[in-house]
Structure 1
Amino acid sequence: MKKRVVSFFLACIVAMAAFTACGAPSSTQSASGSELANSEAASQAANIGTPDNPTKIRIEVFDRGNVPEGKGTVTDNRWTQWLKEEALKAGFDLEWVACPRDQEVEKLNAWMATGSAPDLVFTYDATLFTSFAQQGGIWELDDLIAEYGPHIEETVGYLLPQVSYQGKVYGLTGQSAFPTAAPLKIRQDWLDILDMPVPTTIDELTEVLRAFKEKDPGNVGSENVVPFAIPAPGTVGLPGAYLNLMFPFGVRDDAGYNNGFACMPSGNYDEATGEFRSPVDLPEAKEFYRWMNQLYKEGLLPLEFAIDTTGEKYMQYVASGVAGFVDQNALDLNPNTIDAVPTVDWEPIEPLKGKDGSQRVQLVKKQGMRMYIMIPKTTENPGEVVRYFDWLIENNVNDVISNGFEGEHYKLVEGVKIAIDKEYNAKDIFNATDMNLTGFTNQTYTPNDKLYLQYENERDREIVIKAREFVEKYGAEDYLSLVGIDRPVNMESGAALKKYMYEGAAKVIVAEDFEAEYKKYVDGWYQLGGGEFDAELAAAIQQAKANLK
């Protein structure tokens, strides 16, 4: 159904784009689709805006309903006004169009269907991006970037293959933050009381969890201790321990981040056979589920975790000080627990070792892409939109949007920006993330020996250094991007399979009869099309690897 809806929407927008160009000479109208697209782009891109005659550009911005009182709206506030004034000097007349964050995909599809999309739109959904490119809903940008995007090529050129389709660039993107990873965290204060070392393997972790339950080092009552706090699989914003704890069992992420399941590793690709298996009918995944089932039966997991789909109970366990071990991306959990336990000491630990001694975090060792930024075909002057994005990068606009102004929001000490008043900044620069399209492009990396300038607390500095070291030691060397590779099965069934995987995993973990429930889980996966999904993913991996040669 999703595929048919997207196809209808894109049929509408392609028709509208054709209507926009209906006044072209007959010789142009008889050209091929690719030639027509290039000629349209060339002619429309020639209209360069000036301060006296600026080009109108409408830009999507997320509305999270979090605008502080007195700070305007997401489309009209101090930062939109500042950026509008600065952009006018370069010949751009900016306007922002709000998109409810929790309705991102629906709103974007509606815009595309009605031909009312802003000139710059974005998504974090790779499948949606590919479908728009595949069906002609967005501009091809290679020639426009070559002409109007020198700073795009210079700074984020290495990321453009990830916003491409069939070898052609169809999107823009910025750089993500410098990678840090310290997801596994344990109550070091509890370990100290029990005189136990930090666990380094699954077996050692199991013994620690049992000791937390039996000996109640936090004095919260044995019946209240939650040795291993987790929410339901697939909980938004919380990996739920189904990601980093699958790695030690041998479940890999061979399809690459965002190509499989965000809350689990994508699965294992066999170079010898050319087969790929998602973490369902996979021996290594089965052993992980068996271990989790054992923990549940021993009372080491929350009784109701399978229905904690919002993470509310999970966060309560952390806040009340009864949790002993978690898998969560936030660098430091002490602030979440310190009100209940003033002496709390959540410490990030290294990735657990697999049977072969290997350790892994999911991130790669360099800045990745931020999101898929697109120019809809209904945009009349795509070259000007590319020029605007290039202007953002050239002038480091993201630096002001993210950090504010020197003397008001920060001071410079040895070249490092130090916040003057963090609470003031949080309220005043409330929408930095959503206004900043280029991400951390051109941003500086504060070296470890100068972190004391940003973090007065030694513990905070140590955590940041650890998180950096974990990525450097255990992160992947590079990305495997499947964006731009046709995956019709994923487009048709991917969402349903992901939902099934998360719900089925929870049922397996809480099952009384593990083997019976696991068999049911696997059978249902294949009945829903999991075999075709994996076969398609195997072919996509082979194509992606071939593209790298």
Structure 2
Amino acid sequence: MRSILRKPATAVLAVILTSAISLAGCNSSNKGANGPAAPSNSAPPSTQSASAAPEQKGPPITLKIELFDRNNAPAGAPPLTDNLMTQYVQKNFGDPNNITVEWITVPRSEEVKKLNVLMASNSAPDLIFTYDKPTVQNYVQSGGITDLGPLIDQFGPQLKTVLAPSLPDGVFNGKQYAIPALRVIQAQTTSFIRKDWLDQLGLPLPTTTDEWYEAMKAFKEKDPGNTGGKVIPFSNIQHFQLKPMINSFWDWSQITDEDMYADPDGWSQAGSKEAFRLLNKMYNEGLLDKDFPLRKDFNQEFSQQVVTGVAGSAVTSTNEPVYSGFYATLKKNNPEAVLAPIDPFTTNDGKRPKPMYTPSGIYLMVPAASKNAEAAIKYLNWMADPQNILALQLGPEGVSHEIGDDGIPFALTTPEANQILYNNQDYAMIMNGKYVSTDEPDKNIAANATDPQFKDFTIESIKIGTNDGYTAPRVDIPVQAEIKYSQILSEKVKSMMAKIITVKPDKFDSTYDQQVKEWMDMGGAEMIEEKREAYKKFYNK
């Protein structure tokens, strides 16, 4: 393979202050300063962050902050906008600064559409975020967001230290328009399989695409889960999740960094057609969810297929079965069930290429219409104190997390803990993933084992997710065609996948060619060409 495959940049994680380690090991006598107050009727802690002097109170401000509604609240959980995490923010940041923090919820499943409506009407919160880079580029081009560079220099010293590895990804046209969160774990996707089903059938964990396909056929024919014919051997048919499989059909000896930047989804790569040919074959053999084109919420439907014991294998976001809780629910429903991470999708030369995240995560921005940009940066700088990061990620020790014998904090899985932590990643918005060690990346991996009973599963999932992984090249030049067409092209991918995968095999070639042509004609070809030009310009080629 060429230089496109690269290892994750774990060294960049060493910038977080070393106090994070000692805070992670604090004992219960420090709970008041180490996390939100105990639940039920207890008030949030009144202590200020130990390492930052209290700000002088200024004029009263209402700071509005976007918050994802992921539709995952457990029964009995308090509202997203009024709970231990929001109370901790108000008590420890808002009150000392005479700021009322108001949370504005946006459905995660349609966050870009909703955010665009809010921005167009100048009613967006003061602090907004998205994972979608073309959306950020659009706001940059339209003058819709604030240049945060001068404000970070003045009010964000801690923020600059903590986010040093990720901040460059928020620079567009030479200005710091966005603050990318620091992504602790760069693994993006991992495959898993029902190992207990394999054991019943006397089959090993698959290590090649062919072995995996044969296992899927055996699941269909033998129904080792006793589903009464409801078995779905391969679940979660989403383009993002299918990339490890699709990548394995490409000829990587011919792929350059420019190719990967210009067309990361690979519609111009000849091997993609053969990947979809396999999926088409599997669909017509009954090995995929026959109703996947009708699914409105893929993640919810997929998790239900896992917990009800009908899904045999899938590719998911790395460790999703654990951090979303559906592995635990599956075990509750069936104590004999075992999920095992696998890495079966292989190229002709035995590699297993898969995309990884860059060191940056979600993009945080302040709309140009906001009058509270200074307060927003002060808030993020307050959050960058390791004490506050840990508090917002873990909640109170002894209630929602404990410290293991190895000094690594781990989340509890009690109903009480679940009601505290189910949306915690969105409150600690400057950090994608839990961080506990500056110099031992394996500890950070272990800390992201959100359920200790699945620690080995988590560690193996993350390692697999970085095996032969690659990250996309960085180009900070906005691409007009990408801004213009990205949303419509994303919608087109959903419909074209349904048509390509479900068509009868004798119509596959013509259907695939026609759908890709339509995608290209709708702006895909123009976008690829402009991205090539931007790449050459950025790297002076």
- 1:88-99 to 2 correspondence within 5 Å? 88=94, 91-99=97-105
Contact 1:182–1:350 (8 Å) recurs in 2: no
Structure 1 residue 174: Cα displacement? 2.5
Structure 1 residue 116: Cα displacement? 4.0
1:326 and 2:320 are equivalent in the alignment = no
Partner of residue 473, structure 2: 480
Structure 1 residue 133: Cα displacement? 1.8
Structure 1 residue 88: Cα displacement? 4.9
Contact 2:130–2:364 (8 Å) recurs in 1: yes
1:379 and 2:370 are equivalent in the alignment = yes
Distance 2:260 2:126 in 1: 45
Q: Percent identity?
A: 26
1:353-381 CA deviation, whole Å, 9 max, x = no partner?
A: 211211123225x7x32322112223345
Distance 2:161 2:213 in 1: 49
SS in structure 1 of the partner of residue 165 of structure 2 = helix
Give the AA of the match of 1:81: Q
- Pair member with larger Rg: 1
Distance 1:381 1:470 in 2: 43
Partner of residue 433, structure 1: 425
Structure 1 residue 464: Cα displacement? 2.0
1:307 and 2:314 are equivalent in the alignment = no
Question: Residues 198 and 372 (structure 1 numbering): CA distance in 2 closer, same or farther, change over 3 Å?
Answer: same
Contact 1:173–1:369 (8 Å) recurs in 2: yes
What is the TM-score with the length of structure 2 in the denominator? 0.76
One of 196, 207, 211 as aligned partner of 1:204 = 211
One of 334, 339, 347 as aligned partner of 1:346 = 339
Question: Residues 496 and 435 (structure 1 numbering): CA distance in 2 closer, same or farther, change over 3 Å?
Answer: same
Partner of residue 14, structure 1: none
1:246-304 CA deviation, whole Å, 9 max, x = no partner?
A: 1211277x9xxxxxxxxxxxx96576999758533431001111111222232322333
SS in structure 2 of the partner of residue 122 of structure 1 = strand
Partner of residue 173, structure 2: 166
Contact 1:200–1:350 (8 Å) recurs in 2: yes
1:510 and 2:516 are equivalent in the alignment = no
1:284-334 CA deviation, whole Å, 9 max, x = no partner?
A: 001111111222232322333333343365445433333322222324564
Q: More relative contact order in 1 or in 2 (CA 8 Å, sep 6+)?
A: 2
Structure 1 residue 175: Cα displacement? 1.8
Question: Residues 421 and 145 (structure 1 numbering): CA distance in 2 closer, same or farther, change over 3 Å?
Answer: same
Give the AA of the match of 2:197: W
Contact 1:174–1:371 (8 Å) recurs in 2: yes
One of 233, 236, 250 as aligned partner of 1:227 = 233
Structure 1 residue 177: Cα displacement? 4.0
Structure 1 residue 348: Cα displacement? 0.9
Contact 2:412–2:451 (8 Å) recurs in 1: no
127-136 or 375-384: bigger deviation: 375-384
Contact 1:401–1:435 (8 Å) recurs in 2: yes
SS in structure 2 of the partner of residue 328 of structure 1 = strand
Distance 2:138 2:450 in 1: 47
Partner of residue 263, structure 1: none
Partner of residue 461, structure 1: 455
Structure 1 residue 524: Cα displacement? 1.8
Question: Residues 514 and 77 (structure 1 numbering): CA distance in 2 closer, same or farther, change over 3 Å?
Answer: closer
Contact 2:193–2:341 (8 Å) recurs in 1: yes
Give the AA of the match of 1:197: P
**Cα-Cα RMSD:** 3.8
Question: Residues 104 and 545 (structure 1 numbering): CA distance in 2 closer, same or farther, change over 3 Å?
Answer: same
Structure 1 residue 58: Cα displacement? 0.9
1:284 and 2:291 are equivalent in the alignment = no
1:298 and 2:285 are equivalent in the alignment = yes
Contact 1:396–1:442 (8 Å) recurs in 2: no
Partner of residue 87, structure 1: 93
What is the TM-score with the length of structure 1 in the denominator? 0.75
Distance 1:450 1:273 in 2: 29
Unaligned stretches of 5+ in structure 1? 1-47, 255-266
Distance 1:544 1:456 in 2: 40
Distance 1:448 1:272 in 2: 32
Partner of residue 61, structure 2: 56
1:417 and 2:409 are equivalent in the alignment = yes
Structure 1 residue 54: Cα displacement? 4.8
Structure 1 residue 119: Cα displacement? 2.7
Structure 1 residue 225: Cα displacement? 3.5
1:392 and 2:380 are equivalent in the alignment = no
Give the AA of the match of 2:431: G
Unaligned stretches of 5+ in structure 2? 1-52
- 1:69-80 to 2 correspondence within 5 Å? 73-80=79-86
Distance 1:418 1:274 in 2: 37
1:101-155 CA deviation, whole Å, 9 max, x = no partner?
A: 2554455344434444433222222222212222222221223222322222212
90-99 or 341-350: bigger deviation: 90-99
1:31-76 CA deviation, whole Å, 9 max, x = no partner?
A: xxxxxxxxxxxxxxxxx99534356251313263777788764444
Partner of residue 147, structure 2: 140
1:180-212 CA deviation, whole Å, 9 max, x = no partner?
A: 566211122222222222222222222222233
Question: Residues 400 and 242 (structure 1 numbering): CA distance in 2 closer, same or farther, change over 3 Å?
Answer: same
1:242 and 2:234 are equivalent in the alignment = no
1:452-497 CA deviation, whole Å, 9 max, x = no partner?
A: 9998998622212212322453333x55234x42222122222222
Partner of residue 19, structure 2: none
1:496 and 2:484 are equivalent in the alignment = no
